[in-house]
Each structure stands twice: as C-alpha cells, then as structure tokens.
C-alpha cells in the first residue's frame, strides 16, 4: 500500500468510492467503500449517504438482490430516513418476491413529508398496487391501483395495471 493510500481519511475514501461509482468503476467503488466500512461502519457523509447505500446500488445492478437488500438495510440502520435506500430495498424486495417487506418500505416512504420526499407519491402508489397484485391480494391491489390512477388520471401504465387487476377479479 502506498504512503498516500495509507494516509487517506475516511471522507477521502468515501469520495473515491463515489467517484468510482459514477465512472462507472464498480470494483474501485467496492474497494473504496469497503475501506470506509472497515474504518467506521457507521460513517455517514454530510449529504446523508453511506457506503452501504452505494454498495446496495452496485449489488442491485449486478443482480445480487439479497446482498443489495442487506446493504440497503444497513444504510437504513444508520439513517432511517434514507429515501434512496428505502426505494432500493423496496425495489429489490419486489423483484425478489418479498412483497410484504417491499410494502413496509413503501408505506414508510408515504409517511415522509411530501416536501422531503423526492419520489412522486403516484409512483409509490403504483408500486404498492403492483406488489399487492403479485401477492394476488386483489382488494388491496385495486385500492392502491385506483389511488395511483387518481393521482395521475391520464397515465396509461397506471390504467393498464388497474385494468389487469380488475380483469383478475371479474368472473
């Protein structure tokens, strides 16, 4: 290890990881973020991001959804209001068939004040409906699908989901 590498601060390691993440240089990012975690597992950048959040994103892109969920969960243990980690974990849980967990994160997102939340409410409602549809909980799927459509009446994707759900419930 070079002298310069050995003398890096935790924030420098974090910035290196983020720089590599955006290049994209996944291996460089993973190595830098692992170094951050080794130095201080609870490190949180001044903007609220954690090494665990970025590791979750990397694992999600690689399709390693269980690892992504673990890292998003660790990020949320540090900052329970980390919207991006909630979204990431909900997404991974949806794809993995862990719908109850996804719904829990989506409910937490809905509880964030509208002005503090970046993701539009209508998208959360849509994903909520989709999770209930996949669980074949038709009553909840219709409810959340209608909520999404009410939030954006002209949205063809929302209309199609609600029509699909209603078709499953109509004899």
Q: 82-139 pLDDT, tens per residue?
A: 999 999 999 999 999 999 999 999 999 999 998 889 999 999 999 999 999 999 999 9
What is the C-alpha to C-alpha distance for residues 171 and 157, in angstroms, rounded to an integer? 23
Domain match, 114 and 126 both: no
| Widest pairwise Cα distance in the chain | 72
**pTM of the predicted protein model:** 0.88
pLDDT of residue 116: 87
Domain match, 83 and 115 both: yes
Domain with 57 in it: 7-119
């Amino acid at each position: 290890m070079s002298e310069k590498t050995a003398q890096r601060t935790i924030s420098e390691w974090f910035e290196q990881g983020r720089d590599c993440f955006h290049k994209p240089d996944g291996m460089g990012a993973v190595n830098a973020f692992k170094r951050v975690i080794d130095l201080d597992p609870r490190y949180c950048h001044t903007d609220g991001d954690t090494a665990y959040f970025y590791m979750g994103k990397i694992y999600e892109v690689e399709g390693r959804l269980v690892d992504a969920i673990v890292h998003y969960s660790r990020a949320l243990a540090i900052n329970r209001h980390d919207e991006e980690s909630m979204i990431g974990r909900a997404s991974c849980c949806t794809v993995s068939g862990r719908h109850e967990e996804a719904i829990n994160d989506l409910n937490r997102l809905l509880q964030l004040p509208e002005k503090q939340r970046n993701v539009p409410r209508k998208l959360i409602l849509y994903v909520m409906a989709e999770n209930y549809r996949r669980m074949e909980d038709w009553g909840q799927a219709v409810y959340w699908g209608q909520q999404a459509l009410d939030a954006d009446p002209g949205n063809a994707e929302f209309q199609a989901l609600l029509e699909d759900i209603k078709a499953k419930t109509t004899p």
